[in-house]
Amino acid sequence: MGANIIDGKAFATNVRRQIANQVQRLCDDHGITPGLAVILVGEDPASEVYVAAKHKQTVEVGMASFEHKLPADTSQEDLFALIDQLNSDPAVHGILCQFPVPDHLSERNVVARIDPAKDVDGLSVVNAGLLASGETGLVSCTPLGCLMLLRDQIGNMSGKEAVVIGRSNLFGKPMAQLLLQEDCTVTIAHSRTADLSAVARRADILVAAVGRAEMVKGNWIKPGATVIDVGITRIPHPEKPGKSRLLGDVAYHEALDVAAAVTPVPGGVGPMTIACLLANTLTACQRANGLEEIKDLTA
């Protein structure tokens, strides 16, 4: 019997539906509309696609979308002036600068300039520290989306052994912190981990986020494990010249024979990222206005 395929696209659609309901309620009961500001510096084609998708989904759930497209030669001073303006704008509850930015700008400095209460990407040192301390902050969107999928798939994760392959600030570290908060026993593995396949085979919950296509083979997976594949690598399509296809970090078809559940690529983790960006914007709006937060957007 094959693994359950976790449908991240359908799950994200449901999350956005719940967010739209909450946004409507905020507007009806309090006259408040959550606002998300997205900054795009330069003309990176992939970034333009992502920003367009974020704008579309922001508007669809009833939020205000503020787009700021700046030329590639924008100075750090001018970018910071815009961020400062958005920080002080009460109509803006979430701020996101689309990365990568041009080389003369520092992503770290850009993140640090955003008010942590509006840092809906959850990337600031303040929000990372709050998460690590078990305090209330804003959580990085992709790990938060993975946690939602895991809760839906497994329910109570207490006592489960979890292995996160990847130690990035963007994903690996916050994912491990979230799993710790679920009372999992957590190992962060990486490229220097000795006998990585043996470490992976211990996992009841295996999360792969290294960006190496199909690195995690079927024999790395504990029978009955839940596998979350965060990796995404574009390769030439073997049968369609000029076309490409997307692969995750997990050898998907091998995983289907071993795991209890697995996310596909595409259609697994990816759709959850924007859904959680909207969820964070809703949360930031509720906090800014002293209103009760909705803890479960998956009901």
User: Could you tell me which residue, 31 or 236, shows the higher pLDDT?
Assistant: 31
pLDDT category at 231 given cuts 50, 70, 90 is very high
Q: Are 19 and 59 spatial neighbours (Cβ–Cβ below 8 Å)?
A: no
**155-194 exposure pattern, b = at least 16 Cβ within 10 A, e = fewer:** eebeebbbbbbbbbebbbbbbbbbbeebebbbbbbeeebe
pLDDT at 61: 98
Q: pLDDT per residue over 26-35, tens digit each?
A: 999 999 999 9
CA distance 75 to 57: 29
pLDDT at 243: 84
Domains of the chain: 29-115 (3.40.50.10860), 141-271 (3.40.50.720)
Q: Specify the pTM.
A: 0.94
- Return the percentage of the chain with pLDDT > 90, whole number: 89
The mean pLDDT of 134-150, rounded to a whole number, is 96
Residue in 22, 115, 119, 121 annotated catalytic: 121
Residue of 24, 59, 21 lying closest to 38 (CA atoms): 59
Lowest pLDDT segment from 111-120, 158-167, 170-179, 231-240:
231-240
List Cβ<8 Å contacts ≥24 apart for 55-62: 57/16, 57/274, 57/275, 57/278, 58/278, 58/281, 60/16, 60/20, 61/16, 61/19, 61/20, 61/23, 61/278, 62/20, 62/23, 62/24, 62/27, 62/33
Q: pLDDT per residue over 259-286, tens digit each?
A: 999 999 999 999 999 999 999 999 999 9
pLDDT at 71: 97
The mean pLDDT of 104-109, rounded to a whole number, is 96
Over the chain, what is the mean pLDDT? 95
Cα separations in angstroms, 152 against 12, 20, 171, 263, 284: 12, 20, 20, 13, 24
User: Could you tell me which residue, 214 or 295, shows the higher pLDDT?
Assistant: 214
The mean pLDDT of 202-225, rounded to a whole number, is 97
Annotation marks residue 54 as catalytic: yes
The mean pLDDT of 67-81, rounded to a whole number, is 97
Annotation marks residue 295 as catalytic: no
Lowest pLDDT segment from 149-153, 242-246, 269-273:
242-246
Number of H helices, E strands in the chain: 10, 11
Residue in 18, 22, 57, 98 annotated catalytic: 98
Please determine, for residue 1, whether its predicted confidence score (pLDDT) is greater than 60. no
Annotation marks residue 44 as catalytic: no
pLDDT at 297: 76
Q: pLDDT per residue over 126-136, tens digit each?
A: 999 999 999 99
Torsion sign over Cα 179, 173, 101, 107: positive
pLDDT category at 240 given cuts 50, 70, 90 is confident
Please determine, for residue 299, whether its predicted confidence score (pLDDT) is greater than 80. no
CA distance 78 to 81: 5
